[in-house]
Amino acid sequence: MAFSSESFAPATQMFAQVSATLVQGIMDFLDSQTSVAGVTGSSQELPDPEHFAQLQKRFLDQHQQLWNGMLLRKEDEPLVSVIEADSGDRRFASPEWRSSPIYDYVRQAYLLNSQFIRELVELFPASDGKAKDRARFLARQYIDALSPANFAATNPEFIRLALDTQGKCITDGINNLIGDFGKGRVSISDESAFEVGGNLAMTPGSVIFENELIQLIQYAPTTAKTAQRPLLIVPPCINKFYVLDLQPENSFVRYAVEQGNTVFLVSWRNPKDEQGHLNWHDYLENGPIAAINIVREICNFDQVNVLGWCVGGTILTSALAVLAARGEDRVASLTLLTTLLDYSEAGELGLFIDEESIAEREAEMGKGGLMKGGELSSAFSMLRANDLVWNYVASNYLKGRTPPAFDLLYWNSDSTNLPGPFACWYLRNLYLENALRVPEKLEMCGVKVDLGRVQAPNYVLAAREDHIVPWKAAYLGTQLLGGESRFVLGASGHIAGVINPASKNKRSFWLNTAQQGTTADNWLLDAQEHKGSWWSDWSDWLKQFSEGERGARKKPGNAKYKPIEPAPGRYVKECA
């Protein structure tokens, strides 16, 4: 007998109470975001009553259909399918979730509840788009955390493994949990499988300069002749440079060397308490500006080619704007990989950066101290919580498994600190006030900067699925720089979109050289897809700035800048 509407009444009442609580919670959150933005009073309204009633009715009907399916199901028949997970959702891929009607019911009920919460958030009007995005983000965190795959009692894979292993997976899971408590984070890779300088960051080279903030690496040539003009790479300082030099088959650094470039690279120090006083201006002067001058001196060349990735690109471009304000034209070409210069569309990292949060940071560490690497790592992981947190909670602790050896995830866990004054200046002036895009609004290193004075031709790469630097935001940078831009859109996300070896010929990239200066959407309309890696396209573009060839330099450095130690150096091995 089907579940009657009368017998379903208690569930209806409970659902109404839960709906009312969710509605009030979302209203309170959106009002709090309006208050943060400086608007007084409640500006939020209830969702349109008709649409809200339709959402409630559909949700209740789907749950009743699912429950009726449980009651009417004949023995050995699968449960009726009311809703299915997205094709890319791996949490419920195991057949145990469907072979048991009980766990299938739990799975589908969770998916229905998740769908309801997401749609409920969308029903609310919000005068501030950022507030709506915050509500979406928090709803996703709530939904992801409450997945039945995260709990022993509701995960059938855990039950099967516990029986099959006679409880060994439980013991192993507890040991994994204890080990991760000691680390202060969830393990996402077999860390015993890697060693920086052993099987990671293996490209041969020498550290030829160091100061309090950086080591400068010069890589050994692999070709008989090299481009006359050298290439300097500036990676981000919020994580370690060896993401560009993981293993030989996926090393961007090695590829750049093999293309006949004399490659130098900035290795940022992992700051300790002694470096807690360093600020944004210190990073410009003692980072890319110092490195550019040393590379020029070693190679006896007035201009160099430069490349920056993520915040390394932001730091590099800011340094070039400082040099331009000083009347110094030091670079022949600029490459930016997934870099923000205009922060008006700053992605999910920018959602919770507001005046109140930054003021707290400034009071805590604005004059000295450290923003801990573990905090930064956790923030990045929560942007993809299902993949980088809950997936490993279930695997490590419920199933008792050791994470597989994966170089990129090992790097992802190798966190770095930031000096408090640097972090606070960066968050306030760029993320909050978006001042870098305004000519001469910001003073850096004693001069007013204008990105329009950076006249070097530039190659700007964005990644189509990037959740840290949305590709349209990266595109805005081409509108600010003074030189001619070649904008390239790669496939995948912030890391995989960049680390896409040419030898593997995977993925795609998009080009549209005829519509520079237009909007991002218009650029994409006529962009042409090219199969394979953007690396080859970049290498061909860079050759026009090589100034011909010369015999490869046999020794690193010069009489003034002598080798200090082999690459990758000490700084990259320091732990947070």
Domains, the chain, with CATH or none: 9-164 (no CATH), 205-349+422-573 (3.40.50.1820)
pLDDT at 21 (0 to 100): 58
Q: d(Cα 151, Cα 170) in Å, to the nearest integer?
A: 13
Rama region for 237: left / alpha / beta (φ>0; ψ in -120 to 50; rest)? alpha
pLDDT at 7 (0 to 100): 43
Question: pLDDT tens digit string along 520-532?
Answer: 999 999 999 999 9
Check if the beta carbon of residue 523 is closer than 8 Å to that of residue 201.
no
pLDDT at 3 (0 to 100): 40
Q: Is 327 exposed, middle or buried (0-12, 13-18, 19+ CB in 10 A)?
A: exposed
Characterize the bridge pairing of strands 485-490 and 370-371.
unpaired
Sheet holding 331-337, edge to edge: 528-531, 508-511, 485-490, 458-463, 331-337, 304-309, 231-234, 263-268, 214-219, 205-210, 565-566
pLDDT at 24 (0 to 100): 58
Check if the beta carbon of residue 512 is closer than 8 Å to that of residue 478.
no
Rounded CA Rg of the chain? 27
Question: pLDDT tens digit string along 274-316?
Answer: 999 999 999 999 999 999 999 999 999 999 999 999 999 999 9
Q: d(Cα 334, Cα 489) in Å, to the nearest integer?
A: 17
- Residue ranges of the chain whose pLDDT lies below 70: 1-46, 126-129, 515-517
Report the percent of the chain where pLDDT is more than 90. Answer: 73
DSSP labels, 53-121: HHHHHHHHHHHHHHHHHHHHPPTTPPPP-S----TT--TT-STHHHHSHHHHHHHHHHHHHHHHHHHHH
DSSP 458: E
pLDDT at 499 (0 to 100): 95
CA distances from 259 to 410, 487, 547, 549 (A): 27, 21, 14, 12
- Residue 372: partners with Cβ closer than 8 Å, 6 or more residues away: 417, 576
Check if the beta carbon of residue 483 is closer than 8 Å to that of residue 502.
no
Q: Is 184 exposed, middle or buried (0-12, 13-18, 19+ CB in 10 A)?
A: exposed
Residue 170 is encoded by which pair of tokens? 């439980």
Three-state SS at 471: helix
Residues labelled catalytic: 310
Check if the beta carbon of residue 546 is closer than 8 Å to that of residue 299.
no
Residue 361 is encoded by which pair of tokens? 């940071």
Q: d(Cα 392, Cα 386) in Å, to the nearest integer?
A: 9
Q: In residues, how long is the chain?
A: 576
pTM value? Answer: 0.90
pLDDT at 80 (0 to 100): 86
pLDDT at 72 (0 to 100): 86
Check if the beta carbon of residue 513 is closer than 8 Å to that of residue 486.
yes
Q: What angle do CA 441, 443, 444 make, to 5 degrees?
A: 135
Q: d(Cα 392, Cα 389) in Å, to the nearest integer?
A: 6
Rama region for 305: left / alpha / beta (φ>0; ψ in -120 to 50; rest)? beta
| Preceding amide of 568 cis, omega within 30 | yes
Q: d(Cα 541, Cα 20) in Å, to the nearest integer?
A: 58
pLDDT at 132 (0 to 100): 83
